[in-house]
Amino acid sequence: TRSRRAVDAFMTLEQFIIDQQGRFPHSSGAFSRLLRDISVAAKIVNRDIRRAGLVDIFGTTGQVNVHGEVQQKLDAMAHEEFVRALRRGGECCLIGSEEHAEAIPLRPNGEGDGRYIVLLDPLDGSSNVDVNVSVGTIFSIYRLPDDCDTPTLEAALQPGTQQVAAGYVVYGSSTMLVYTTGDGVNGFTLDPSIGEFILSHPNICIPKTGTIYSINEGNFNSFEEGLRRFIRWAQEEDPETGRPFLTRYIGSFVSDFHRNLLKGGIYMYPATKKNPEGKLRLMYEANPMAFIVEQAGGRASDGHRRILEIVPQKLHQRTPLFIGSEALVSMVEAFLQGR
């Protein structure tokens, strides 16, 4: 089978990146080093998450982040690890992180020549981390525009179509890193005994349709009518169309997304009373996953338009998000538009 061949090939992430380098437009090796820096931070965060119960890292920092969310200690720890790895690596000039109100310039005095911008959700699903449920990290990579020398926030606010790469880490039953540079989607599983990410899921393609939907149905009463109609439709008995569908909602976007990517399905975080713009953030949750899902043959919409074409205004702006199998995203859009 596909993954059997990959394991036989025993290709590490580093070897894969070097192989891909030839096809990567900026093959100066800088991108390879950037991805390596990210994978090092992922291994450190993985180590800390896996022993969270043994060291004083559960609970909150007592701080509230820019979203008014109580910041988990692991949110802050993961943020620090990625910032440290990217600063040390020297390929990144600016970071935008969920856990930091402002964009973070990594070469304020102009030293170094890193020209990559990284948008980051250091720990996704952090409400789950103290109860041992799978969490993740999401990253999105842009290049500093050629005509731009000082890395500013404006340079980071590029539409998702401009991403040069996007990926996530899922700290689940195994730890996987999945990413794209616009040439398909590949998944790597961490072999802790050697500390290497090994190619385990080459060329991931999302099934064109599916029977899994992921949504917080606790917000049902504040969903718009078209969405409520879709959910009621999904729950009707109709074996021909695989209904009733399965509902699977972990509360960690990365884990819900990863399962749907492999099995087919749709993840939805619509506008709700509490989050009228939706809850997920465009720059470091919706855009990177939209790039990945499109590269895997799926779709990502805000209900009316392609996520990747949204022109960002603010670093932490939110968007409604419907993402997954092409047929399911199109179906929900039809229900939303009353068709």
* Binding interface with ligand AHG (CB under 6 A): 69, 98, 121, 124-126, 216, 251-253, 279
Minimum CB separation of residue 280 from Mn ion in Å reads 7
48 or 224: CB nearest Mn ion: 48
Instruction: Please identify, using beta-carbon distances, which residue of 98 and 326 lies nearer to Mn ion.
Output: 98
Q: Least distance (Å) from ligand AHG to the CB of residue 90?
A: 27
232, two tokens: 């009621």
CA–CA distance, 118 with 83 (Å, rounded to integer): 10
| 256 belongs to the binding site for Mn ion (CB under 5 A) | no
Min dist. Cβ of residue 25 to ligand AHG (A): 30
Choose between 125 and 187: whose C-beta lies nearer to ligand AHG. 125
Of 117 and 280, CB closest to ligand AHG: 280
Least distance between ligand AHG and beta carbon 18 (Å): 32
250, 264 in Cβ contact below 8 A? no
Tell me phi and psi for residue 298, to 5 degrees.
Answer: -105, -165
Residue 72 beta carbon to ligand AHG: minimum distance, rounded to whole angstroms = 8
Closer residue to ligand AHG (CB): 252 or 287: 252
Q: Which conformational region is residue 68 in: left (phi greater than 0), alpha (psi within -120 to 50 degrees), or beta?
A: left
Which of ligand AHG, Mn ion, none does residue 251 bind to, with CB < 5 to 8 Å depending on kind? ligand AHG
User: Distance between CA 264 and CA 298 in Å, rounded?
Assistant: 9
Q: Which two tokens stand for residue 4?
A: 């059997």
Choices 2-10, 43-51, 93-101, 106-114 (CB under 5 A): range interacting with Mn ion: 93-101
Give me the 116-155 binding string for Mn ion, x by CB under 5 A, dash otherwise.
Answer: -----x-xx-------------------------------
Contact by Cβ (8 Å): 136, 253:
yes
Which option in Mn ion, ligand AHG, none does residue 91 bind, with CB closer than 5 to 8 A by kind?
none
Instruction: Work out whether the CA dihedral 218, 281, 329, 129 comes out positive or negative.
Output: negative
Taking the CB of residue 51, how many other CB atoms lie within 10 A of it?
10
**Three-state DSSP state, 172:** coil
Contacts of 239 (CB under 8 A, 6+ apart): none
